[in-house]
Structure 1
Amino acid sequence: MEHAQAVGGRYLVDGLLGHGGMAEVHRARDLRLDRVVAVKVLRPELAADPAYRERFGREARSAAALNHPGIVAVFDSGEGAGPGADLPYIVMEHLRGETLAELVRDGRAPGPEGALLICAEILDALAHAHRSGTVHRDIKPANVMVTDRGVVKVMDFGIARPLDPAAGVTLTGTGMVLGTAEYLSPEQARGRQVDARSDLYSTGCLLYELLTSRPPFRAETPLATVWLHLEEAPAPPSRYVPGLPAAVDALVLTALAKEPDRRFADAASMRAAVGRALRELRQAVPAPGTAAAPTAATPTAAARAVSAAPTLAAAVPAPSPAPSPTPARRRRMPRVALVLLGCAVLAGGGVAIASARGGAAATVPAPDLRGKTLAEARRTLQGAGLHVGRIATGDCAVPVAAGRAVCGQQPVPGAGVTRGGAVALRIPADPAAVR
């Protein structure tokens, strides 16, 4: 981007702060008010697309309508950036700090207590946005920053939409899915109406990652990850972090319920549950022989922020208990090694990686899973002493009825599989086909 001319005749750009798939963010000086700001500019290759220009403008309008210390402030917007002086731009407050994604990526997650405190701040910001009639729809670690002053800031309202209490929020187009696969709510993935509870699901995914350093669902492709959101129950965070109290597991699993009605009613209710989980965490004493919950190895901006954050009020009323989803099946690691049994192209394609035990392990015939939903296939495999392995996506050679996900498998039906091993599945490429 050219620096010679001030953007909009007012903002003198002096450096690149970062970039993403949609825009670049530059450091600039506001010549009128003599302050440092951040100028977000739509990429030139996207500016000719009306849909991207509308989405970019929506971010400015959505964020500018919100006035909360936990939401990045928008000062101005317009058109006139770039070499041709025709690119749309948004002027925002300039923040110094790190995103939660950077902290997790670098192995500097804030620890369980810090994660809960950060989550409480995010929920405060979302409660304000929801009261103002806006649902974010893309809550994820990369869109939350902890500033050098310890302030948690929710950013990037690029796919936010107005919230209609009667009808929810529809996607940009029929069947169009916007969002990030690891944090996408099931109703977003299905192209259904979305309300504020979708943001709570995404916040649950974010909290899960802060606690365990991994998202609740991740597969080899974004589409396969979406399928896991639709079909798989998440493992409780305490499986990966010994010593976490039951209240933390209950908080996360309630937020990650597949059906919105089984989640918290609103951001305030989830924040109250965060307060209860935090109090239980602080009172917990690790059982003999268990490791204490990990904390950040070195001080970071996030650690400084959460250590200085106020304790959540004990008097916040408790929401009605929400049913927790059934814990995910426990995947058993082989005692000796993982044996690659074979890679074969199925009628619908697919690859199998099965686990085997050393010695003369018993084998069972692979059941016929074709035409079953993922949930049915999983139950069938569990009944046979097996489990679901890799899930591949793509076109199916044989049409499947709506909601009947599995169109191929490896090993093929009847083939011998070591007891405790895995069967890889092939599913259609369209997640909206699953009920």
Structure 2
Amino acid sequence: MSQQRIINGRYEVGELIGRGGMADVYLGRDERLGRTVAIKMMRADLARDPQFQTRFRREAHASAALNHPNIVAVFDTGEEELPGTNGQPGVACPYMVMEYVDGDTLRALLRKDEVTIDLAVEWTEGVLAAVAYSHENDIVHRDIKPGNVMVDKSGAIKVMDFGIARALSDSSATMTQTQAVVGTAQYLSPEQARGESVDFRSDLYSVGCVLFELLTGRPPFVGDSPVAVAYQHVREEPPAATTLIPEISPALESVLTKSLAKDREDRFQTGKDFLTALRAAHYDGMAVSEDESTSVIPPAVIPADTEPTQAMGAISASDDSIFEPREELPEHYEMTGEMDAVNDPERTGKKKRRRGWLIALLLILLLGGGAFAGWWFWNEAEQQRIEENQVQVPDVSGMPETDAQNALTTAGLRPILEYEHNDDVDRDRAIGTDPASETTMQRYDEVTLNISLGPDQVDIPDSLQGASEATVRDTLEELGLTVSDVSYVNSPTIPRDRLVDTNPALGSTVAYGSTVALKMSSGEVEVPNVVGMTQQEAENTLTADALGLSVDINLVTNDGNMTAGQVVDQDVEPGETASQGQLISLDVAREEEEPSDDPSESESPSESESGSPSESESSSDEESSDDPSEDESNDEPSEDES
């Protein structure tokens, strides 16, 4: 377990809770104010890159300038000095202390399939409020996407990661850096995809893409590669949202259409305009007004020159014919009983009643027949419509997640994603569908798309030993594992900043979703105490594989208190660290010199100064014998003797 870090004397760094493209986010605590914070620190492997340093500082500056309830607040910024090793200078690692948001990103919520139309509109309102505020402060976000928007436990929206935001005065620069488009392909505006300058309306296009995905469950454009998606943003029109989700109102469809216009002049010009139109469409059913006037069909009217209905012949007050007396009957016409019967009121009433029943019966027959004919024609049309809208579920087993979604959408179905572990299907590939493939369904019906999370148990690869931290993180994340902690350990062979081991260990099997701690090489080894060992023992200890050091031997004079061949000193103190392969100098006692047993080989000080008596005598004899004059004088008697 690594040692707890305190930075700037007040921020306690806790567990890793997130990871971005250039920084790690840790749960932290502000000891001075006693509150939980999030600490965003640049990754150690990127801290030496000036470009990443500049980008990180720009994010901190842009975020700190914004104070809005829908934007993650930045409380403090600073730099932590990382010590240098192996002769390399130290480096300043920048960090940001931010508001801690306890919740999920929109990306995570979309994966859970818990987004209704009402929630989609509500969350988009929060995003638009944040974007409108940043635009008022001349800051363009440039990377609005579901992964950069969080929803806290209370339901509030928090927009984060202004990592590629720039002030409006700098937005004339294109969005390409080393030929790579900055941003996320599925939410890029057409001008960003073309590498042109961006402005506030580019953010609003990205918000439109997010709204489309929240409403339909998929982005407006999907493809096999980021380049293919970017091309669609520039050249193709998105599918109508109502064809994917029929419950979406035409008013909301009109808002989506305007927000995703290719030409920025045809989009909403401000975040407030977008927000106002979205609320009016969802709550009041008011569609976005078009430039062209909407044609309205007037109610039907009766033309002035139409003749009155003939059954109700018009009566004119000037028509006096109705008041003229009837023509007299001929005299020979006799009023018979039959005539009386015709004029009988009772009989006339019966005829009228019988005629009414006949008319009613006729009407019933006509209506019944018409209803039957209508039902028959309607049923035939409905059957034909059902048959025309029938589609078969395609076989997507084994396809990558995006390809499987595209195949189902192209077939006219609405894929609903579900994730589960599977030992036989690789992670992020389709297991199958429910209903199964070849099943006949109606167009726009929902079909469950099962995506594999990979095996429930995964192996930590041995091959990661010696890899960089970035490579290890990416590999473990692909396996569904999370890096929880990074510490440094000594290693005699693995270069600095390369993986030595993990906890759980390399090669071990762990549950999917487990956390793994990394042990990175410090590039150093701890020097042991070899004083008192024999020279050979010390050399074996220091040069062994466990240490990998080099040894230099210095022989020192033995004062009689040392054991010959024993190490009496070392230039690196025990317990201190040395670089891999460093030369360690050892002092080793010489063999002690003993006195000789031959007397001729030793002489006393007096003898060395005056010589031995025998030598003096022999030399004097030689001198006397060598001088003849002296011999002769000695042989002659002296004058006194004579």
Give the TM-score range, shorter chain: 0.5 to 0.7
Relative to 1, partners in 2 of residues 1:333 and 1:205: Cα closer, same or farther, differing over 3 Å?
farther
* Corresponding residue SS for 2:33: coil
Once residues 83 and 242 of structure 1 are traced to their aligned partners in structure 2, the CA distance between those partners, rounded to angstroms, is 60
Structure 1 counterpart SS, 2:4: coil
Q: Which residue of 1 aligns with 2:506?
A: none
Q: Secondary structure of the residue that 2:96 maps to in structure 1? A: strand
Matching residue of 1:156? 161
- Tell me which amino acid in the other structure corresponds to 1:103: L
Structure 1 residues 334 and 218 mapped into 2: Cα distance closer, same or farther (>3 Å)? farther
Match of 1:113 in 2: 118
Please show how residues 232-243 of structure 1 align to structure 2 within 5 Å.
232-243=236-247
Instruction: Tell me: CA distance 1:29–1:62, structure 2 relative to 1, closer, same or farther (3 Å).
Output: same
Could you say which residue in structure 1 is the equivalent of 2:100?
Answer: 94
- Report the 3-state secondary structure (helix = DSSP H, G, I; strand = E; otherwise coil) of the residue aligned with 2:46: helix
Which residues in structure 2 correspond to 1:213-292 (within 5 Å)?
213-280=217-284
* 5+ long unaligned stretches in structure 2: 85-90, 293-387, 397-406, 412-642
CA distance in 2, matches of 1:254, 1:8: 48
- Over the matched positions of the two proteins, sequence identity in percent amounts to 45
Give the direction of change, closer, same or farther, for the CA distance of 1:91–1:144 in structure 2 (3 Å limit): same
CA RMSD, 1 decimal: 2.9
Matched, 1:126 2:92: no
Write out aligned runs for 1:5-404 (5 A). 5-80=5-80, 86-109=92-115, 111-164=116-169, 168=172, 170-171=174-175, 173=177, 176-280=180-284, 321=290
Displacement of 1:268 in angstroms is 0.7
1:221-260 CA distance string (max 9 Å, x none) = 1111111111110012111111211111111111111111
Distance in 2 separating the partners of 1:339 and 1:206? 29
Paired residues of 1:248 and 1:277 also in contact (CA < 8 A)? yes
CA spacing shift, 1:337–1:115, aligned 2, 3 Å:
closer
Q: Structure 1's 24 and 81: CA in aligned 2 closer, same or farther, altered over 3 A?
A: farther
Residue-by-residue CA offset, 1:188-208 (whole Å, 9 max, x unaligned): 111101000000000000000
Q: Which amino acid aligns with 1:148?
A: K
- After superposition, what is the alpha-carbon deviation per residue over 1:110-147, rounded to whole angstroms, capped at 9, x for unaligned? x1111111111111111110000100000000100111
The amino acid that maps onto 1:276 is A
Unaligned runs of 5+ in 1: 284-317, 324-331, 341-352, 357-435
Partner SS, residue 275 of structure 1: helix
State the alpha-carbon separation in 1 of the partners of residues 395 and 157 from structure 2.
Answer: 45
Structure 1, residues 320-369: CA drift from partner, whole Å, max 9, x if none?
A: 6468xxxxxxxx999568799xxxxxxxxxxxx9x99xxxxxxxxxxxxx
Cα-to-partner distance string for 1:261-293 (whole Å, 9 max, x where unaligned): 110111111001111121146x9xxxxxxxxxx
Give deviations 1:369-402, integer Å, cap 9, x for gaps.
xxxxxxxxxxxxxxxxxxxxxxxxxxxxxxxxxx
Cα distance in 1 between the residues matched to 2:57 and 2:70: 21
Asked if 1 retains the 8 angstrom alpha-carbon contact of 2:254 and 2:288, the reply is: no
Report the count of equivalent residues. 298
Q: 1:58 to 1:320 in 2, by over 3 A?
A: farther
For residues 203 and 48 of structure 1, do their structure 2 counterparts lie closer, same or farther at Cα, with a shift above 3 Å needed?
same
Tell me by how many angstroms 1:53 deviates.
1.1
Query: Would you say the 8 A contact 2:6–2:12 is kept in 1?
Result: yes
CA contact (8 A) 2:74 2:96 kept: yes
Counterpart of 1:288 in structure 2 is none
Using structure 2 for the length normalisation, give the TM-score: 0.43
Structure-2 separation of matches of 1:322 and 1:147: 39
- Measured in 2, the distance between the counterparts of 1:61 and 1:258 equals 31
How far 1:106 moved relative to its partner?
Answer: 1.8
Bigger CA radius of gyration: 2
C-alpha distance 204-259 of structure 1, shift in aligned 2 (>3 A)? same
Contact 1:176-1:191 within 8 A present in 2 as well:
no
Q: Which moved more, 1:200-209 or 1:82-91?
A: 82-91
Which SS does the other structure have where 1:192 is aligned?
Answer: coil
Amino acid at match of 1:92: M
Q: How many angstroms apart in 2 are the aligned matches of 1:23 and 1:211?
A: 31
Asked if structure 2 preserves the Cα contact closer than 8 Å seen for 1:74 and 1:93, the reply is yes
Letter in 1 for 2:194: R
Distance 1:93 1:125 in 2: 15
Q: Which amino acid aligns with 1:200?
A: L
Amino acid in structure 2 at the alignment position of 1:52:
F
TM normalised by structure 1 equals: 0.63
Three-state SS of the structure 2 residue aligned to 1:89 is strand
Q: 1-side partners of 2:110 and 2:156: how far apart? A: 17
Q: Secondary structure at the match of 1:234?
A: coil
Say whether the 8 Å CA contact 1:125–1:154 is kept in structure 2: yes
Distance in 1 (alpha carbons) for counterparts of 2:76 and 2:32: 13
